[in-house]
């Protein structure tokens, strides 16, 4: 029987791997802070972007697609 009590928030138990996250924020400071928090919780930050247009371009090019997008609520882009 699997012991789920030691599984972290950022771990996908069904696929036995960390969740892949992309961080989208126009503030470098906020992106850095969010990435640090996610990494501490054992998420895998696979990409970061400063706006929606750049994020969509990255998603198209990434070999590993994000499971979760962490997006700034007040991002200054019309791409979304």
The domain limits of the chain are 16-71
36 strand-pairing partners: none
* pLDDT 10s digits, 11-52: 888 888 999 999 999 999 999 999 999 999 999 999 999 998
**Strands 11-12, 20-24: pairing kind:** unpaired
Residue 78's pLDDT is: 57
The reported pTM is 0.81
Pick one of 3.30.70.20, 3.40.718.10, 1.10.3720.10, 3.40.50.2300 as the CATH number of 16-71.
Answer: 3.40.50.2300
* pLDDT 10s digits, 45-69: 999 999 989 999 999 998 999 999 9
């Amino acid at each position: 029987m699997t012991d789920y009590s030691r599984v972290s928030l950022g771990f996908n138990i069904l696929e036995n791997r960390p969740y892949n996250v992309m961080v989208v924020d126009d503030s470098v400071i906020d992106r850095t802070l969010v990435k640090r928090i996610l990494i501490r919780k054992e998420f895998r930050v696979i990409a970061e972007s400063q706006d929606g247009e750049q994020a969509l371009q990255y998603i198209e090019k990434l070999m590993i697609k994000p499971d979760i997008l962490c997006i700034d609520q007040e991002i200054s882009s019309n791409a979304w």
